[in-house]
Amino acid sequence: MKQILDILRSKTSLYWSLTKSMQTGLLLSTGIAGFLTARSSVIQWATLLELLISLFLAIAGSTIINMWYDRDIDAIMKRTCNRPLATGKVSPDEALRLGLLLSISGTIMALFMNPLYGLVVSIGIFLDVVVYTIWLKRRSAWSIIWGGISGGMPILAGRVLGMGHIDLVGYLLAISILFWIPTHIMTFNILYYNDYLSANIPTFPSIYGFSRTRAVIAISSILPAISIGAASWMIGIQWGFLRIFGVMSVGLILLAVSSIRKPSDLVNFGLFKYASIFMLASMVLISFNLK
97 or 257: which leads in pLDDT: 97
Question: Which has the closest alpha carbon to 253: 239, 238, 271, 269?
Answer: 271
19 or 44: which leads in pLDDT: 19
| pLDDT for residue 85 | 94
How many angstroms separate the CA atoms of 268 and 203, rounded? 16
Domain boundaries, the chain: 11-288
- Prediction pTM value: 0.92
Is pLDDT of 249 > 70?
yes
Is pLDDT of 2 > 80?
no
Beta-carbon count within 10 A of 153 CB = 29
Averaged pLDDT for residues 55-68: 97
CATH classification code of 11-288:
1.10.357.140
Confidence label for 182 from pLDDT (cuts 50, 70 and 90): confident
Question: Which has the closest alpha carbon to 192: 284, 271, 265, 279?
Answer: 265
Mean pLDDT of the chain: 89
Is pLDDT of 274 > 60?
yes
How many angstroms separate the CA atoms of 239 and 256, rounded? 25
Averaged pLDDT for residues 197-204: 94
Beta-carbon count within 10 A of 124 CB = 27
How many angstroms separate the CA atoms of 232 and 176, rounded? 12
How many angstroms separate the CA atoms of 81 and 53, rounded? 30
Is pLDDT of 47 > 70?
yes
Confidence label for 93 from pLDDT (cuts 50, 70 and 90): very high
| pLDDT for residue 116 | 98
